[in-house]
Amino acid sequence: MLIGAHVSPAGGPANAISRGEERHCTAIQIFNQSPRQWKGRLYHDEEVAAYREALDGSPVKGLLIHAIYLLNPASEKAEFREKSLEALTLALNAGEQLGALGVVLHPGSALKSEDVDGAIKRAGEVIGEALAESGSCPLHLEDTAGAGGTLGRSFEELAALIEASGGGKRLGVCLDSCHLHASGYDMRTEESIAAVVDEFDRVVGLDRLGSLHVNDSMTPLGSNRDRHINLGDGEIGAAGCAAFLSEPRFDGLPAIFEGPGFKGKAVEPEDIENMIKLRKRGVTARKKR
């Protein structure tokens, strides 16, 4: 498993590598542009070269790009869908430039809860077009906590989104432990997590699983509220986080802790050290069984 954090790419993507190294990461996640602004750009050749030089020989072995929060490919407004298409295509092309393991996308939301099928269709059209207009970088649809009309709250919705987007090989999934728990998938024990992964394999397919977000949940099972808390301090707890991090079918995947972090502002080395310890605890527990 590649363990890491969401870090800032301020000053260029090469700086994200050094920030990952400072935090003892073997994987990192970045935004390719300001997450709260539409305006973005591709990287200059010099930035790409500096990034690849920084990556060469680094303990950081994998990069994810998180698409900006403004995106809603399921919007009923054509103008908003067009903006979402442009931003998603840009993120995928930026991922291509940097050799990213994938772009992580919140699939969008339906304005009306009764319009989920229509929202999935609209999102699928935008996602499919973005894939067609970009290179070969994979796209990972992230499961959601289920608040409001957010799409991807269940494995069935993720499967429907993949189908609506064309079902191509570039389409994958990013599973977030906090979102899963908030949506009613129990993340607290080895047994419950194994059952959830079995269900994911049945409905979506493990071959679609491309990345993980490892966050504890401030709110209870099935709350439909997306509230992250530091690993071991929430409703999932240390035992659940350890079990999630050591699930054998997750081996080799990038696993990103997004925060808030011990200091409450950003992920620090202590947070990643805690994550590594929890994984070791989970692996040890499994060996004793």
Q: Which residues contact 49 (CB under 8 A, 6 or more apart)?
A: none
In-domain check, residue 10: no
Average confidence (pLDDT) over 132-142: 97
Q: Is 176 a catalytic residue?
A: yes
Number of structural domains in the chain = 1
What is the per-residue pLDDT across 180-232, written as a single tens digit (0 to 9) for each?
A: 999 999 999 999 999 999 999 999 999 999 999 999 999 999 999 999 999 99
| Cβ neighbours of 225 (radius 10 Å) | 14
Range from 64-78, 192-206, 234-248, 259-273 carrying the lowest mean pLDDT: 259-273
User: What's the confidence (pLDDT) of residue 265?
Assistant: 79
Average confidence (pLDDT) over 137-153: 94
Average confidence (pLDDT) over 238-251: 98
Instruction: Tell me the whole-structure pTM to 2 decimals.
Output: 0.96
- Is residue 35 over pLDDT 80? yes
Instruction: State the residue range of the domain holding 102.
Output: 31-49+66-287
Positive or negative, the Cα torsion across 75, 81, 83, 85? Answer: positive
User: What's the confidence (pLDDT) of residue 204?
Assistant: 98
Q: Given 24, 179, 188, 281, which residue is catalytic?
A: 179
Q: What is the DSSP letter of 104?
A: E
Q: Given 47, 157, 216, 226, which residue is catalytic?
A: 226
User: What's the confidence (pLDDT) of residue 113?
Assistant: 63
Q: Is 233 a catalytic residue?
A: no
Q: Is 24 a catalytic residue?
A: no
Average confidence (pLDDT) over 266-287: 95
In-domain check, residue 60: no
Q: Is 142 a catalytic residue?
A: yes
In-domain check, residue 15: no
Q: Given 122, 153, 228, 279, which residue is catalytic?
A: 228
Q: Given 22, 46, 53, 69, which residue is catalytic?
A: 69
Range from 147-156, 161-170, 258-267 carrying the lowest mean pLDDT: 258-267
Q: Is 226 a catalytic residue?
A: yes
In-domain check, residue 2: no
Rounded mean pLDDT of the chain?
A: 96
pLDDT band per the 50, 70, 90 thresholds, residue 282 = very high
- Alpha carbon 35 to its chain centroid, in Å, reads 14
Residues 282 and 190: their CA atoms lie apart, in Å, by: 9
Q: Given 86, 233, 258, 268, which residue is catalytic?
A: 258
In-domain check, residue 56: no
Q: Is 66 a catalytic residue?
A: yes
| CATH number of the domain enclosing 86 | 3.20.20.150
Q: Is 179 a catalytic residue?
A: yes
Q: Given 129, 143, 176, 271, which residue is catalytic?
A: 176
Average confidence (pLDDT) over 254-279: 93
Q: Is 185 a catalytic residue?
A: no
Please answer whether residues 206 and 200 qualify as being in contact, where contact means their C-beta atoms are separated by less than 8 angstroms. yes
In-domain check, residue 110: yes
Calculate Rg over the CA atoms of the chain: 18
In-domain check, residue 219: yes
- Alpha carbon 2 to its chain centroid, in Å, reads 13
User: What's the confidence (pLDDT) of residue 212?
Assistant: 98
In-domain check, residue 8: no
Q: Is 6 a catalytic residue?
A: no
What is the per-residue pLDDT across 65-109, written as a single tens digit (0 to 9) for each?
A: 999 999 999 999 999 999 999 999 999 999 999 999 999 999 999
Please answer whether residues 262 and 9 qualify as being in contact, where contact means their C-beta atoms are separated by less than 8 angstroms. no
User: What's the confidence (pLDDT) of residue 201?
Assistant: 98
pLDDT band per the 50, 70, 90 thresholds, residue 154 = very high
